[in-house]
Chains A and B, each alone.
Chain A
Amino acid sequence: MELYQKTAAELSAMLKNKEVSSVELTKAAFARTAAVEEKVGAYITLTEEKALADAAAIDAKRAAGEELPLLAGVPVSVKDNICTKGIRTTCASKMLENFNPPYDATVMDKLHAAGLVMTGKTNLDEFAMGSSCENSALQKTRNPHNPDHVTGGSSGGAAASVAAGEVSIAVGSDTGGSIRQPASFCGVVGLKPTYGTVSRYGLIAFASSLDQIGPFGRCVEDAAMLADVLRGYDKMDSTSYPREYDSLTAGLNADIKGMKIGLPKEYFGEGISEEVSKSVLAAAETYRQLGAEVVEISLPLSKYALPIYYILSSAEASSNLARFDGVKYGYRAEQFDGIIDLYVKSRSEGFGPEVQRRIMLGTYVLSSGYYDAYYKKARAAQRAIRADYAKAFEQVDVILTPVAPTTAYKVGEKTSDPLQMYMGDICTVSVNIAGLPAMVQPCGFDSNKLPIGMQLIGPRFGEQKLVNAGLAFEKASGLSNIVAL
């Protein structure tokens, strides 16, 4: 077994036992990347030199007998919408193609403190807006399981880097499914934590009230270990919860006897492919056999989640992305006549079509005369959806659903029809609207040998239940550590 085929949990143990050094691991990661990156295209920027230096520093600490955190010395990729000081952070946009942040995101400080070694910055849909990674203005990323298919998005590069064996773990972000859907398409584990548990300071905002950074891994334990590193209160982020978190890794327990798992009937109806439905229902059967109680539940407001999501996320995006005006940083049009022209040209040339579409949509729903009909109503509906979930969690511990209507579709298949693309988010957006945690992991393959994922949704701060339920299924199904290519 090659190093690149090992999970982060396995690498962590090897490092601890000094069976391998961080420098060796890091070199192996870049060797694997060199071998597959042409087919995968996960990265926008590789930071090999810095990674090797960081790895050597960790090795030196270990050699000196220092007690190191679990993931110290393990290579990790980071989505390119997370600010890295002095390392360009592009959001896969022409707008920020040459932007070097003057500061590190809080999660970068946390990764650094935990001794992880960043390999580079991964591709995404421009400003995290998209579900296939095809909206990247800088890089094409392909599904490692089949390069004719998309990775999903927006964290497509992160998911692909893990699935292709370039790294075992990755940091992504999820606004409406951006961790979970690509995890599903690429056959890896992805966790979207409870809103407010991971600091957003330094995450270039798409929709502030929905964005949440989270981990990818090749197995549930990987995701749990990285989540433990990422979580924690940050005084720099007013939306982060001032509380302590117990280690998910330490709390891992595959015994789920008596756990109540809800199957919301609204998630298995029209629009969801039969192959996906079947596979997720089979997972439910596995849970039954493991001693869990599986019950049908209802989330009647699910059908409103998609419009609510596109109103709220676009509204916030229209304001969040206004700062990219060509004045201070980022792209500036070469020719302009006066300040208004500078704005119009810089933004028209710097942003891609999907970003522009969402800015226009968001500007519209916040406009005087439309605010009440759209934004305000969507906020009210958001509260109703939260109540919907709260009621469901009075009955069950976790909720099991599909992640997306289909498995990874072909490159170019949906790019001409934005609405069709938006429909693909139907299973994931309500989780962000409600601020809940949710985890995705592989539960099977379709007839084209493309991975099918399942989604476990938990109550607020219910991450431990998610990883435990996930671990139980992973052990029973053997669907873990799937490396493509």
Chain B
Amino acid sequence: MKYEPVIGLEVHAELSTKTKIFCGCSTAFGAEINTHVCPVCTGQPGALPVLNKQVVHYAAKMGVATHCTVNRLCKSDRKNYFYPDLPKAYQISQFDVPICENGYVDFEVDGEPKRVRFERIHFEEDAGKLLHDEGDGTVVDFNRCGVPLIEMVTRPDIHSAAEAKEFLETVKTTLSYLQICDCRMEEGSIRCDVNVSVRPMGSDKLGTRVEMKNINSFSAAERAITYEVNRQIDVLEEGGQIIQETRRWDDSRGKNMVMRSKEDAQDYRYFPDPDLVAVEIDDAWMEQIESEIPELPQSRYARYIKDIGLQPKEARILSDSFDKACLLDDGVAMNRVDAKAIANWILSDISKYLNDKGLELKDTRLTAAKLVDMIELIEKNTISGNAGKKVLVQLFETDDSVDAIVEKLGLKQVSDEGAIRKLVDEVLAANPKSVADYKGGKKNAIGFLVGQCMKASKGKGNPKMINQLLSKTLEQM
């Protein structure tokens, strides 16, 4: 029998607010154990939470960007359970009224359009971390405790591991476009739980669902889903039944194990948190939120193909990065140089530089205006393409203008006809064999002669002019 996987995801993203969700402690990653803590986030008796409005703002932004309904009255609920990393023994979250509901994202999988719907997006606080290798016993680090999260819950619209991965990439790109999450996977800023079931192809009844936890990267999500789908199909093929349970993914061993069965499911005894009054998003605030949503990657991707004539692969690379897309769009908006030239510079030299250095565009000093200045000089033959590469490095690392860099490095091309003629004449005189070869029909000997001219000009000669003058002179000889 053929089976269809039915997959839903719960994605947690850490919001990049400066302070925690209910207190003024820093959210910075990597600090010394228990240094970003206070009475509130360590659950001291008597301490009270106050909701950070930036969290509401960021969560609502994600909702607007994913076509959700935003609930204007934000209430908080307590999810009660005991665990040492949860100092209050309840997590403040949202239960029956999440801030955002009923949205979707569109993306492509292997060139085919795909839509995954969101059931809800809500905000909540992160828990602390248990460290088991700190000497005697277990240490609880509360630095992460109270770092704001949004949890995004999808409808079961995903039907393959590849779709799941593309969906996750889309979520990540959207988060980075909205500038509400650092998206540092290695720091755990995006995590996900996966719900998987399978059903006979063509059936519209959902199979028994298994939840998988401990998935720490998008590629792990892909592997975990593939494994679980195959496991469920094997069970069914052997006449067995799927048991509703939670399984823990072990990425290093490439398999999952039972964590807890349905019977062990906890009763979280959700109820409205009496310490927190509801926060209302009024019209002015909502307008502010809506005004901050930039043009999203899907739309830019389509535009780059249609308007600039890029290949889908190229358009994808550019639209996947908010910084790169903005650099391109800002440059194009100046309407001074060829749009495709800007795209090509970003796709090649700029991307290579960033990759080599392990930097992001925002970590450098490059601006769209300077990039355009530089390309313009190339288009006007003031500098060569190669000189442009040298200028670019300076643009990443200094605040100098393009003209100043060109001046400083002496990169201005020699386009003076008299000077070039002198150069050509000298090279022709010094290389009679090549001239003879050319005259004898070996037309590609001109390449060597151009190279010699460039070398003689210390790279500053305008190659186009050299080429023209050489050809002309050789023909006349």
Residues of chain A having any CB pair with chain B under 8 Å: 81-83, 89, 91, 96, 99, 101-103, 105, 200-205, 207-209, 235-239, 315-316, 318-319, 322-325, 327-329, 339, 343, 363, 366-368, 371, 375
- Asked, given contacts A367-B269, A368-B267, whether A101 binds B48 with beta carbons under 8 Å apart, the answer is no
B49 proximity list for chain A (CB < 8 A):
238
A-B contact count (CB 8 A): 100
Beta-carbon contact of B50 and A316 below 8 Å: no
**Cα separation A392 to B51 with both chains bound (whole Å):** 35
**Cα separation A203 to B84 with both chains bound (whole Å):** 23
Most buried by A among B46, B82, B90, B277: B46
Beta-carbon contact of A105 and B46 below 8 Å: yes
Beta-carbon contact of B88 and A201 below 8 Å: no
Q: How distant is B307 from chain A, measured CB to nearest CB, in Å?
A: 49
| Shortest beta-carbon contacts, A-B, top 9 | A322-B89, A209-B274, A208-B274, A366-B269, A204-B45, A202-B46, A204-B46, A83-B46, A368-B267
B277 proximity list for chain A (CB < 8 A):
238-239
Beta-carbon contact of A102 and B271 below 8 Å: no
B274 proximity list for chain A (CB < 8 A):
207-209, 239, 316
B85 nearest in chain A by CB position: A327
Q: How distant is B237 from chain A, measured CB to nearest CB, in Å?
A: 35
CB-contact partner of B267 in A202, A339, A367, under 8 A: A367
User: At the interface, yes or no: B474 with Cβ under 8 Å from chain A?
Assistant: no
Q: How distant is A231 from chain B, measured CB to nearest CB, in Å?
A: 17
> What are 26 A-B contacts defined by CB distance under 8 Å?
A83-B44, A101-B39, A101-B44, A101-B45, A200-B46, A200-B48, A201-B47, A202-B46, A204-B45, A205-B45, A205-B46, A205-B275, A237-B50, A238-B48, A238-B276, A239-B277, A315-B271, A316-B274, A322-B80, A322-B82, A322-B90, A323-B45, A325-B84, A366-B271, A367-B269, A371-B269
A241 nearest in chain B by CB position: B277
Q: How distant is A212 from chain B, measured CB to nearest CB, in Å?
A: 12
**Cα separation A371 to B80 with both chains bound (whole Å):** 14
**Cα separation A101 to B38 with both chains bound (whole Å):** 12
User: At the interface, yes or no: B413 with Cβ under 8 Å from chain A?
Assistant: no
Per DSSP, chain A at the interface is loop
**Cα separation A209 to B273 with both chains bound (whole Å):** 9
Beta-carbon contact of A201 and B84 below 8 Å: no
**Cα separation A204 to B275 with both chains bound (whole Å):** 12
B270 proximity list for chain A (CB < 8 A):
366
A367 proximity list for chain B (CB < 8 A):
267, 269
B207 proximity list for chain A (CB < 8 A):
none
**Cα separation A81 to B78 with both chains bound (whole Å):** 23
**Cα separation A102 to B274 with both chains bound (whole Å):** 24
A237 proximity list for chain B (CB < 8 A):
48, 50
User: At the interface, yes or no: B384 with Cβ under 8 Å from chain A?
Assistant: no
B87 proximity list for chain A (CB < 8 A):
323, 327-328
A315 proximity list for chain B (CB < 8 A):
271
Interface string of B262-286 (1 = CB under 8 A from A): 0000010111001111000000000
Residues of chain B having any CB pair with chain A under 8 Å: 39, 42-51, 78, 80, 82, 84, 87-90, 140, 267, 269-271, 274-277
**Cα separation A456 to B21 with both chains bound (whole Å):** 40
Beta-carbon contact of B269 and A101 below 8 Å: no
CB-contact partner of B44 in A103, A200, A343, under 8 A: A103
**Cα separation A171 to B301 with both chains bound (whole Å):** 65
**Cα separation A166 to B270 with both chains bound (whole Å):** 44
Beta-carbon contact of A319 and B39 below 8 Å: no
**Cα separation A426 to B43 with both chains bound (whole Å):** 33
Beta-carbon contact of A323 and B88 below 8 Å: yes
Beta-carbon contact of A319 and B82 below 8 Å: no
**Cα separation A201 to B274 with both chains bound (whole Å):** 13
- Asked, given contacts A238-B277, A239-B277, A315-B271, whether A327 binds B46 with beta carbons under 8 Å apart, the answer is no
- Asked, given contacts A103-B44, A201-B46, A328-B42, whether A239 binds B90 with beta carbons under 8 Å apart, the answer is no
Beta-carbon contact of B43 and A328 below 8 Å: yes
Beta-carbon contact of B271 and A371 below 8 Å: yes
CB-contact partner of B50 in A83, A96, A208, A236, under 8 A: A236
B51 proximity list for chain A (CB < 8 A):
238
**Cα separation A209 to B270 with both chains bound (whole Å):** 16
- Asked, given contacts A235-B50, A325-B89, A367-B267, whether A102 binds B39 with beta carbons under 8 Å apart, the answer is yes
A211 nearest in chain B by CB position: B274
A339 nearest in chain B by CB position: B84
Beta-carbon contact of A343 and B82 below 8 Å: yes
Known contacts A101-B46, A204-B46, A316-B274; 4 further A-B pairs (Cβ under 8 A): A204-B45, A319-B271, A327-B140, A368-B267
**Cα separation A89 to B44 with both chains bound (whole Å):** 12
B76 nearest in chain A by CB position: A238
A343 proximity list for chain B (CB < 8 A):
82
Beta-carbon contact of B269 and A363 below 8 Å: yes
A368 proximity list for chain B (CB < 8 A):
267, 269
B142 nearest in chain A by CB position: A328
**Cα separation A371 to B268 with both chains bound (whole Å):** 11
Beta-carbon contact of A103 and B276 below 8 Å: no
Beta-carbon contact of B50 and A238 below 8 Å: yes
Beta-carbon contact of B90 and A319 below 8 Å: yes
B88 proximity list for chain A (CB < 8 A):
322-323
CB-contact partner of A366 in B80, B82, B84, under 8 A: B80
